[in-house]
Amino acid sequence: EATIAKIAAGEIIERPASIVKELIENSIDAGASNIVIEIKNGGKTYIRVTDDGIGMNEDEVEFAFLRHSTSKISVAEDLLNIHSLGFRGEALASISTTCMMETLTRNISSNKGIRVFLEEGKIIKKEPIGCPEGTTMIAKDLFYNTPVRKKFLKSDLVESNHISDVIYKLALGNPGISFKYIKDSKVILKTPGNNQVKSNIYSVLGKDFIDNLFEISYYDSDLSIQGYISKNDFYRGNRGHQYIFVNGRWIENIELTKIIENCYKSLIPINRFPIFILFIEIEPSLIDVNIHPTKQEIKFSNQNKINNTLKQLVNKKLKDIISI
Ligand code: ADP
Ligand code: MG
């Protein structure tokens, strides 16, 4: 049973960045307006995620670490109508079998908090504690109990780059939440959380980007595409700065990526990669997010419409930009 749990955990928890992602997504699902992430040594020795979301009461904390326990789906048909980021109830169960965990949490309707310590996925200590409303999750000493897996972790630098990537994507996709990211005691990122897409991009990616991005915008009753595409001479050597968010969730969709790239290629023959940040809002029942274990690929049931709309939008904007 313990072995099976560890194998299953390995599919979700590959590296420190996987833990950071799952914990932040839980904070977002909990309705947080402020999320603070602190890591040490590439997240290998220490990860802390603190939020000011709804928090948990005592029963909920105990339930949270059990496999397939989720508060986010109550009936089967909810699976077709997913608004929250998590829905499998596997993340905390998995994380807690791969490292030492500590949780402090206080539900908004409770006047005191609770602290639990976990080892090998089990609560080993539980006590009342004074703490603000919201939740703090601490994950220490990743893979202390699976030395083979620990050996496969990369350098602190490589692991912290993976973490930064996760945080930047979540911060970009959630302009209404303020993110603060502390790496080895240094503040690396602080976003305003004021719901201003442009000032959010500015704080995550920097001024260079803002100056070279142009806004695109489309909406009708069942689809909205908002975002920014880069000037025709503002390229990168890889796809690292191409972002697609669907209902706030960062996704990969090679079809959409190729459509945008082809718009550029048809105007300027170049072998580099345009930059774009797209926010697609769509009826949740028109997407299937349940096709990939880390939930980064989705299927659209109206992919053709999205493809065509995006192609027209980008083509038109590029022609405007070029004629400037
Ligand atoms: P899922 O996100 O798929 O529901 P998780 O294992 O990530 O599964 O979390 C299990 C449950 O723990 C969640 O459904 C939620 O009820 C609770 N939970 C986890 N993190 C938080 C948090 N930061 N604030 C409030 N509740 C949380
Ligand atoms: Mg989750």
Nearest to 318 by CA among 210, 231, 244: 231
Any bridge partners for residue 298, and if so which? none
Interatomic CA distance for residues 48 and 70, integer angstroms: 21
Q: Which two tokens stand for residue 154?
A: 């990369």
Ligand 1 atom having least distance to the Cα of 71: 14
Residue 76 has pLDDT above 50, yes or no: no
Q: What is the mean pLDDT of residues 50-56?
A: 98
Q: What is the mean pLDDT of residues 288-292?
A: 65
**How many CB atoms sit inside 10 A of residue 97's CB?**
25
Q: What is the mean pLDDT of residues 254-277?
A: 89
End-to-end CA distance of the chain: 64
Interatomic CA distance for residues 214 and 82, integer angstroms: 31
- Model pLDDT for residues 230-239, shown as the tens digit of each residue: 987 888 888 8
Residue 27 has pLDDT above 90, yes or no: yes
| 263 CA from centroid of ligand 2 (Å) | 37
**Ligand number, closest to the Cα atom of 79:** 1
Interface pTM, i.e. ipTM:
0.99
Residue minimizing CA distance to atom 12 of ligand 1: 64
Helix, strand, coil percent content, the chain, rounded in steps of 5: 40, 30, 30
Residue minimizing CA distance to atom 16 of ligand 1: 71
Question: What is the identity of the amino acid at 146?
Answer: T
Helices (H), 183-241: 197-205, 207-211
pLDDT of residue 231: 86
Choice from 35, 47, 70 to test ligand 1 binding pocket (greatest atom count within 8 A of CB) = 70
Question: Any residues with CB less than 8 A from the CB of 253 and at least 6 apart, and which?
Answer: 244, 297, 298, 300
Q: Which two tokens stand for residue 115?
A: 């602290």
193: left (phi over 0), alpha (psi -120 to 50) or beta: left
The confidence band for 24, taking pLDDT boundaries of 50, 70 and 90, is very high
Residue 269 has pLDDT above 80, yes or no: no
Determine if ligand 1 sits within 6 Å of the CB of residue 72. yes
The confidence band for 94, taking pLDDT boundaries of 50, 70 and 90, is very high
Nearest to 86 by CA among 72, 74, 100, 76: 72
Determine if ligand 1 sits within 6 Å of the CB of residue 12. no
Residue 286 burial class via C-beta count within 10 angstroms: exposed 0-12, middle 13-18, buried 19 and up: middle
Determine if ligand 1 sits within 6 Å of the CB of residue 54. yes
Choice from 29, 63, 97 to test ligand 1 binding pocket (greatest atom count within 8 A of CB) = 29
Which DSSP category does 154 fall into? -
Q: Which two tokens stand for residue 213?
A: 């991005």
**Ligand number, closest to the Cα atom of 28:** 1
Choice from 13, 26, 105 to test ligand 1 binding pocket (greatest atom count within 8 A of CB) = 26
Check if the beta carbon of residue 164 is closer than 8 Å to that of residue 147.
no
Determine if ligand 1 sits within 6 Å of the CB of residue 36. no
Residue minimizing CA distance to atom 15 of ligand 1: 71
Residue 57 has pLDDT above 80, yes or no: yes
Interatomic CA distance for residues 68 and 4, integer angstroms: 14
Residue minimizing CA distance to atom 17 of ligand 1: 64
Interatomic CA distance for residues 278 and 210, integer angstroms: 14
Query: What domains are there in the chain, each with its CATH number?
Result: 2-190 (3.30.565.10), 206-323 (3.30.230.10)
- Model pLDDT for residues 154-207, shown as the tens digit of each residue: 999 999 999 999 999 999 999 999 999 999 999 999 999 999 999 999 999 999
